[in-house]
Amino acid sequence: MKRLALLALALAGCAGGPLPPDWQTNARQALESFKRNYLTGDTRAAETEFVRAKSELASTGRGDLLARAELTRCAVRTASLEFDDCPAFEALRSEARSEETGYAEYLSGRAQRAASDEALSRLVGLGVQFKAGRISPAGIAQAVEIASAQGWRRPLLAWLGVQAKRAEDAGDSETAARIRRRIELISG
């Protein structure tokens, strides 16, 4: 039995092929930590992880990888309704591949792209629609539900703020008050 367990472990180790270089693993983990921390509202930890990811990617001397990381940051900010022109990506645009430049165009609202089924992708897509002024009340509600289901405090607060403003503008003080109570619960 012991031999069988050792053989299974040895085969499992061989089946995966060669391990990726440390920089890839470290950069991927740092970017994932950045996204998680940013979306949950821990800005300091998010920025620390983003700097770590950029350091790992810079060790390769590949501007396209740094451009992709900057687009990741812009996408996460878009999901949270924090818009800018992605200046750090723009500084690397000449290094970016067509896939990255196409995604940058999408984030700016100048190109269309289908969102995947992943929650963050859907939320980014809704953020792009909002930025372009093409979002419906149902889309806003969908964004609230996505952020809420994931426990993503930062985008949830942003999208609830949009809902509250819309309710106030429509003269629906009861709905606006209910949303404001929810915002206070999250912020408290």
Domain count, the chain: 1
Residue 20 has pLDDT above 90, yes or no: no
Mean of all residue pLDDT scores within the chain: 92
What is the SS3 assignment for 121? Answer: helix
The model's pLDDT over 81-139, given as tens digits with 9 standing for 90+, comes to 999 999 999 999 999 999 999 999 999 999 999 888 999 999 999 999 999 999 999 99
Position 93 in a domain: yes
Residue 7 pLDDT:
38
Residue 6 pLDDT:
42
Residue 10 pLDDT:
43
Position 2 in a domain: no
The model's pLDDT over 47-61, given as tens digits with 9 standing for 90+, comes to 999 999 999 999 999
Position 92 in a domain: yes
Position 98 in a domain: yes
Position 8 in a domain: no
Position 37 in a domain: yes
Is this prediction's pTM over 0.95? no
Position 12 in a domain: no
- In angstroms, rounded to a whole number, what is the distance separating the alpha carbons of residues 184 and 110? 35
Residue 92 pLDDT:
96
DSSP string, 38-55: HHHT-HHHHHHHHHHHHH
Residue 76 has pLDDT above 60, yes or no: yes
Position 127 in a domain: yes
Q: Which domain holds residue 70?
A: 22-187
